[in-house]
Chain A
Amino acid sequence: MMMTCAEARKILYDIETTTGEPTLAEPGSMIALAKAHVMVCVACSEYFERERAFIASIHDRLAAPSAPVPQAVLAAVLETTSRARLQEFDTLSVPRTQRLLRWLKRTFMRS
């Protein structure tokens, strides 16, 4: 069965335009048929080639792998983690305080 350009592009759009491991197609599956179509169809192979080039250019232009972090941001982040630690310490301490209050109530309210 020969596949049309429309079917092949719809089936393969995600697969052909996603970064990562290539999808293996089981022989006779729709993906395999679509890939077979693209191999012989100049228009479809050019279509996917151009789409992949555009996507690669999006990545190249926008994906800065690392950047210097402003000192103010680093200071704010470290302050945040220090505050988070303090809050956690307080939270951990609350049950102990509550236990003490309950003990005091039990001890002195009875008498």
Chain B
Amino acid sequence: MGNKVAIIGIAQSKYVENRSDSLAEVIFDVCYRALQDARLNINDIESVTLGAHDMVDGRGITTMLTAAPAGAYLKDEIRVAEDGAFAAALACLRILSGEFTNSLVVSWSKCSECDPGTLNTVANLSYDPFFYRPFALNDVISYAIQAQQYKLKYGITDEQAARVVVKNRANALNNELSHLKSAVTIEDVLKSSPSSTPLKKLDLPPWSDGACAMVIANEGLARKMKKQSAWVKGFGWSNDTYYSGDKELSKLESLSAAASKAYKMAGISNPSKELDVAEIHDITSYQELMEYEALGFCPEGMGGKYIQSGATSMTGDIPVNPSGGCLSTNPYTAVGLIRVAEAALQVTGRAGNHQVPGVKTALAHGISGLSAQSNCVFILSKNQ
């Protein structure tokens, strides 16, 4: 399918801890600008595909109030209650079906609407009421358990994980939209307050407000946009078991499955050689290391050594998260869509100060669900 779908317009909000404008205003702004970027009018849009969670937006059906600013009035609109990367995947399917020439894809979160700590309760309520919820599990704890098992199994050190934070926070300094814009040292990370062993405060992302929108289009429209089109060469997503006790926590099997589908579609056999940059969902520092392995950037158990080698730094073989990633900017549901947007900016040479030189092929990744249960991977290319 490599030549049929492309991202032709992108807009992101500035990401901050607490935006004073309403969620509707944040959404309208990015949609308006994404259309401008794609040189389209709202009347040209044939379908709208949204990624949003009621549980984060604090609404019964969030799109009752957010579909309008997302341009869905009298449009063919479907919302997925998943990370925004999954909305992008559904949009691609809709275009491939031949029914639509384009889709406006939007995802957002205004985490500031929750009191501090409430989001952990929201996550706890995602666990089943019988077995897991009484353990007071939440997303942070679920990632901590994974990190701990990964750490013990392969001898990964906290210092190696801290390097992920140092790298991504330094990269964020070059991204004007980033929420956290301050460099940290390995020592800062190691000495930051404990959260859930082995994760410390700086191993975890902030909670951010913001939104991301993009126009995905078919070949005809994308050709008109020439160099601004980021071609979707491959995409795949997969789902693991919900029960943490039923899976090998030190491996991200649904990410491996998603990546292998996307690689196969894109004809990629050696990802570390063929990819020029990756924007991945670094929901924790440890998670980024595990993702290197699941994506096949390095062999199993070598994530720690891989970051140490500098391969994923801005000047390495595959710079990972030049934008600063989720560890610098975390509007919950929108994180995966932002990764797709950033990868598209990289392949079209529009990433500004955090542009990696000479990018031809980029990978983007988004997570949905606790302990990274579902994962979605996109491969984008500069060339059709």
Please determine whether chains A and B interact with each other in the same assembly: no
Q: Which residues of B contact A (CB under 8 A)?
A: none
Q: Which residues of A contact B (CB under 8 A)?
A: none
